[in-house]
Amino acid sequence: MSSTRRVVAATGLLTTLAYEGAVAMGRFRRRQKQFEAATKRSMETGRQLVVVGDPNAGLHTRLVQAYDCGAVCVDLNGCPACPVSIAADITKGVEAIEDDSSVVYVSCVLEYVEAIEPAIKELKRIAGSEENLFLVFVDPMSLTAFLYPWGKRRAADEKGHAWHEVTWVQRLLGAGALVGLTAAMLMREDG
């Protein structure tokens, strides 16, 4: 019975990890494709490309980049490795960038801002229209969406028109599932 439990738990854990890995690769590809589309739009319209979210902020994004700094990089903490960096909270506005002046690329940032409505309003102000706004989100059904420490919400659609708050119950269930599978797999037989 114990070996069956271990096999089932290991299979569940490995399946979960494989799913998360596939989702992460999909997010990487979406980041690349959206950045390419934003770059193309920037070139076609003659607008500067504003990247929201430091392309070098995470360990994995430093190792393999899906996008670069654009003409201007905006991040709460700035973008230290980018030639033109603005440290700004997009929920409070980015005064250095004019209205309807840019193509805006946003990669996995809106899930973490304090207030979603002012952030989207500011992005639309800078972009001028949705045609100039390119968004990438964390997959809403991934464990990353529920467990990432500073994540506050997950996107309900591809355009960011609707959002679901991440609750402590969802975090607890996600973490509990991982801990439970790991514990079941590692438990030793007694006797």
Residue 118, in any domain of the structure: yes
Residue 10, in any domain of the structure: yes
pTM score of the predicted model = 0.86
**How many structural domains comprise the chain?**
1
The CA distance from 24 to 52, in Å, is 19
Tokens of 176: 């509990």
Residue 87 φ then ψ, to 5°: -85, 110
Residue ranges making up the domain that contains 83: 2-186
Residue 53, in any domain of the structure: yes
* pLDDT < 50 positions in the chain: 191
Residue 121, in any domain of the structure: yes
Q: Please report the pLDDT score of residue 179 as a whole number.
A: 86
The CA distance from 43 to 158, in Å, is 24
Q: Please report the pLDDT score of residue 191 as a whole number.
A: 45
Residue 120, in any domain of the structure: yes
Tokens of 184: 């079941």
Residues 6+ away with beta carbon under 8 Å from 175: 147
Q: Classify residue 118 as exposed, middle or buried by CB count within 10 Å of its CB (0-12, 13-18, 19+).
A: middle
Residue 191, in any domain of the structure: no
